[in-house]
Amino acid sequence: MSSRVLTAVAWPYANGPRHLGHVSGFGVPSDVFSRYLRMNGHDVLMVSGSDEHGTAITVQADQEGLTARETVDKYHRQLIDDLHGLGLSYDLYTRTTTANHAAVVQDMFSALLENGYVVKQSAMGAISPSTGRTLPDRYIEGTCPICKYDNARGDQCDNCGNQLDPIDLINPTSKINGETPEFRETEHFFLDLPAFANSLTEWLSRRSDWRPNVLKFSQNFINDLRPRAITRDIDWGVSVPLEGWRDQPMKKVYVWFDAVIGYLSASVEWARRTGDPEAWRKWWNDPEALAYYFMGKDNIVFHTVIWPGILLGQNGKGDTGGTLGPFGELNLPTEVVSSEFLTMSGAKFSTSRSRVIYVRDFLAEFGPDALRYFIAVAGPENNDTDFTWDEFVRRNNNELANEWGNLVNRSISMAHKNNGKVPAAGELTEVDTQLLAAARAAFDTVGAHLSRNRFRNAITEAMRIVTLANRYLSDQEPWKLKDDPARRDTVLHCALQLVQDCNTLLTPFLPHSAQQVYEALGGTGVWAAQPQIREVSEDDGVPYPVLMGDYASEEARWESTPIAVGRPLDKPTPLFRKLDESLGVTGPSWSPLLDL
């Protein structure tokens, strides 16, 4: 793997707080991957931000009696708090309402237009009869005319993967208020996706190692490419950078187009904020750099077909060629890491249907690492996965508290009681050496899984070593070796070495508790760095929050290092609290499961 890796994380929409379904798809997987890579010596740039344009924002604003700007300001801060609380280690989490983002979007638009990949066409736009506003394609649902799936969206059918237009749907209705949209002819600019058909087909043919669900959706989509509108009749968004369009209050860049360009604009902003305005090019122009994109499955084709098409067009490498755009030769995605849906009671998390558990509520009740662990070990990595309180309580109690927490607590407690410090090892037995060797070997096994985004396999292997270490303590019974202090100290030394190794293996998944274990073993300083909320501004001086972090200063390295003999040990405090098993029946008091 290249030493330089871009982690491009899907942009959550700034029209409400995040729920568990959101962060299981884009949040935790991208952070586990990035933390592992940093520990393994890679130069990672992890970027994203709040998606703040489009009709969904204006609809939310109307519902709350706010302006669009007030709405995104409110929810951007909530998103920052949610993602900060979860410990997502962004190098920059920003927003799309910045002047920097608008400039990058407009430059990309102009480059595509110059190369002939943006064309002007008339189209039938979906209009809300009650408001007169344009309805986004994704806010229109109906029956797919191809496979007859009942819940197809106006941009694509998630069942058969075909691209659609809202007017194609049978019995289309607005998701906003249930009314039937009207269709009116209007003039817009379109991304000429058919002009990338050959280039994209050839590029996708080389992606055989991607997840099967990603390839399936992408290949189905590319078989029926159509021009796709990149401007919209709306007053909230990035202005179209053309005479006759720039000053039109009801003509803006379509939100889907400006959002995918956010990965690039966030990288540009990060470079400027860190004092080297050209630093972003190391991740975007260097052909040896790698780029991994993380999102839920409903965003697959935007990242496997549409965004690569935009990049090819800027690079002058679509089917009809062109000249290199202002950003130089931009790298296409190395892999698109898409998760399936985290469901609840068999259905998707849905704020509108009150089927939702908000991240902020969950964190306040259970803390971040319990959620991160559940998503890693039981999340929707390859299949839709149902969240239940029974399963969450079982995983927390049996695996985090009884296995990992118990290993840490009893190993350090016994060494503290008997030695007050990390004891030296005497002569090792075959049992000792085999177990220590198994822990060292796990770094290669777990690392290989993480480098391929196989999170469940990775954390399962790490917890296997935890189980072996607990069994070792139970078998060796150091508490019965008062008459053989040399052997007792050897067993405790090995146990502490295993705790240290297992803590390193689990750090990408459990960074908050990993810091606690590091300190319980006598470590000082930052083991696993956390993101920081910083107030920044642009030329207008208006402050807004971003997430950034100093991750280069952390001590965590992806390797087994000898435990420091003689390091003082204090009595540890429990890592994880066991939950009342009745929680699995009722859920917490704020759980909407009670209403289903």
Whether the predicted pLDDT of 159 surpasses 80: yes
Least confident stretch, 40-44, 65-69, 199-203, 248-252: 248-252
Bridge partner residues of 127 (DSSP): 134, 182
Task: Kindly state the average pLDDT of the residues 282-305.
Answer: 94
- Predicted local confidence at residue 593, as pLDDT: 43
User: How many angstroms separate the Cα of 554 from the Cα of each of 30, 80, 329, 516?
Assistant: 19, 22, 33, 14
The yes-or-no verdict on residue 432 having pLDDT over 50 is yes
Say what the pLDDT of residue 233 is.
87
SS3 321: coil
* pLDDT at residue 348, as a whole number: 67
Whether pLDDT at 510 is above 60: yes
pLDDT digits (tens, 9 = 90+) for 533-574: 999 999 888 999 999 999 999 999 999 999 999 999 999 999
Q: What is the 3-state secondary structure (H, E, C) of 528-554?
A: CCCCEEEEECCCCCCCEEEEECCCCCC
For residue 79, is pLDDT > 80? yes
The Cα 478–Cα 492 span in angstroms is 7
pLDDT on residue 137: 78
Residues 6+ apart with CB under 8 A from 456: 376, 377, 378, 379, 381
Of 35, 94, 83, 43, residue with least CA distance to 268: 94
Under the banding of pLDDT at 50, 70 and 90, the label for residue 343 is confident
Q: Is the pLDDT of residue 594 over 50?
A: no
Per-residue pLDDT at 592: 52
Q: Is the predicted pLDDT of residue 200 greater than 60, yes or no?
A: yes
| Per-residue confidence (pLDDT) for residue 249, from 0 to 100 | 86
Mean pLDDT of the chain: 93
Contact 236, 57 (CB under 8 A): yes
Q: What is the mean pLDDT of residues 282-307?
A: 94
What number is the average pLDDT over the span 265-271?
A: 98
Please report the pLDDT score of residue 9 as a whole number. 98
- pLDDT, tens digit, for every residue of 211-232? 887 888 888 888 889 999 999 8
473/491 Cα distance (integer angstroms):
8
pLDDT higher than 60, residue 245:
yes
Mean pLDDT for 392-397 is 96
Per-residue pLDDT tens digits for 440-496: 999 999 999 999 999 999 999 999 999 999 999 999 999 999 999 999 999 999 999
pLDDT of residue 595: 34
